[in-house]
Each structure stands twice: as structure tokens, then as C-alpha cells.
Structure 1
Amino acid sequence: DQETGHMVFFRGGWANLTNDRSGEVFTDVFGASGNRNDNNSGYYVGAGLDLVLSKNVWGLFGGTWVLGEIGVEFKRWNSEKVAQAVPTTCSVAGVATCSTELNKKVQLTMLTVNVAPKIMFMEGSRFRPWIIPVGLDFHVISPPSSDTSVLDIGVQFAVGAQVRVWKALHLGVDGRFHLATGQTDTTNNFGTAGAYLGIAF
């Protein structure tokens, strides 16, 4: 039954960076081969838990739940064949055992772990919309930035809805925007839109 509250969910869909990562040393060696890793769209897959904190906003609003979402999300941005950083810079430095790699696919990825309050409306209905007013994000980017940094933090905002399709099974859609603080000296803001399968327990 949906009203038991907690849920495990599995997500996937489209993701898009607000700024691409081209022109960095580890992404394409500043475009040394003439090609740049300049795509900013891709896909994400993720999973998480919704844990019920209150089924009436602690007595303030009946029929409105507050949940705590804990999630993890992997993103892969569309990646190009470019100059590969370590063998190319090693070769330029004159190391005899190194050779220049100018046509190697360098994968651009990102991992996000988040903790967020989720407000879910319409208790008792098969259809339940929800919002995340603001949540906390922890990001890991790969490859590292030109500062050789990988860790960033930020916030996210989200809106979504889910439908109970059969017993504990739910299908939902959501859209999210993630605003990062730029600890890596790169712009790590991105948005996602996709679907999820939830199993209540």
C-alpha cells in the first residue's frame, strides 16, 4: 500500500550541463588536437530512498507529507575523441616512453549524492505531485578540473509527480536543476528530466 510511506526508487533520463567542459587540460588538453570535448548533454541513472518524516507537516497541513530524500546519481556527458592529457603532456615533456594520443575518447562523467526535503501532496490519491524546495548536493566530476580538483557542493530544486500503478509499484516523472558552487573552478550547474520507478515499503 502506498500509505505505508517509505519508498526506494530508480531513476533515469536526460541531463544537460549549463556550460561544457571543453578547453581544460584533462578534458581535451586545451583543444590540442583541434577537437574539443564540448558537448554538454547526456544521460543520468540513479537511485534513492524516500523516508517519511511527517504525514501532516507536523500538524500544520493535513494530507501533505514531508519526506527525506537520499539519492545518488551518475551522469555521462556526450564525449569526443580528443587529445588525451597524460600521454600527450608526458610526450611534450620529452619522456621517451610516452607517445602523443590525439584521437582518444575522453569520457566526461559526474556523480552526485544528495539529501533533500521532499513535500508530497494529495494523501490518499493514486496521483501525488511533489516538490523539493531546496536540497543539498555533493558532486564529483571526472576527469578533474585544470586545478586538479574533483569535489563540489551545491543545491538542487525539483518538481515531480508519481502514480500508483499496482500495489506498492509507482511510476513517476521529475525535473531538477542543480546549482553548484564552483569549488573546482569549473561551472558544474546542470538540469535533468526523466522518469522513475518506485517501490513503497
Structure 2
Amino acid sequence: MAHIDYYFGTPSPWVYLAGDRLEQIAARHGATITYKPLDLMQLFDRTGGTRPDQRHPARSEYRAQELRRWSGHLGLPLNLKPAFWPVNPAPSSYAIIAAQAAGGGDLAGLVQSFLRAVWAENENIADDAVIRAKLSAAGFDPALADKGLFVGAETFGRNLEQAIEAGAFGAPFYVVRESGERFWGQDRLDFLDRHLATL
């Protein structure tokens, strides 16, 4: 059985556009997933990337065009100027980490609800009330928003280090443990699908 380490940032539009395709692919191949939210800005800083607000205007303009194109292609609504972006990824990431450790709910649904909140619902995923509502809607105890703070902070930092060690430099980033194959971007999910079929 293959296992996928999934590195991502909760404020990322590209992670949002991945939707639930990773989960569909994993289910098709009997693969398991470990969700590893991290601070994408620090990942960029540590691996030679450029933060979005520091990119050349030509790159920023092209990014906006690509986001619009992919949104239309995938049929996912996307606000190119969300009300709460940039946003602190730590609180939502801590909630995901705590929920993954607790089990019993829809973890993939929780992750996607935070992404949807930023890019389609204009909600602040750093707000405690939003986090609690998302936890509850996904079948988790909303008190995890408080209970998981210490472990969440520790794991959040460790996920960054593990991402760098695994060769990740952006998001979404998928690493298949058994083969070491790496896939960067929601537009590489078809290649991940094909790779899992060979294992």
C-alpha cells in the first residue's frame, strides 16, 4: 500500500484548486495520506522561492491569469482578491494537525473547507470562530482549536523541516514514500495517479 506525504499551505490558491482529486486518486489505488500543513512563505525563503508580494509584476499578472483559467477549467469558484489574504496559516494548520491526531472526522473535508473559506467564501481562517465552525462541520470537536495548540505548533514547524528534507519547495507537493517520487502542483495529479498504478 502506497503512502503519500502531502505538503501544503492553507492559504494557497493552488492547493484550493486541487480540490478532492488527491483523495480520489488515493482511494482508487488504496493509498493513504498524511496531511502536512506548513508555512509556505518560510518554505519559499528556505528553498530559493520568491514570496508572492515580492514577485515581478509580469509573474504576478500571469499567476492571476492562470488562476482564472484553472478555476474555470475545474469549475471551482475563485475570488482573485479574497477579503482575508494574506492570512496567518498557523491557526488553521494547528486545527488540521489536531484533527488528524484525534481522528473520527472528515479530515480531507476539513482541509478543503479552510481553502474554500479563503478563496470562495471570504472567511478569515485565522479567526477562532471560523476554525471552530469548520472543525464542527467536519465532524470534529471544535475544542480541538484550543487543545491542539502546543502539539500543533511543534508539528507545524517540523512539517517545514520534513518538507525541505523531502525536496519540497512549493505547494501542493506530494511525496510517495515508497518510491521517493515527488510531484509539485495540482496540475501534476494525473502523473501521481499514473505513478501509483505502477507500485
TM bracket, shorter-chain basis: under 0.3
TM (normalized to structure 1)?
A: 0.23
Structure with greater Cα Rg: 1
Give the structure with the higher percent helix.
2
TM (normalized to structure 2)?
A: 0.24
Looking at both structures, which has the greater relative contact order when contacts are Cα pairs under 8 Å and sequence separation is at least 6?
2
Give the structure with the higher percent strand.
1
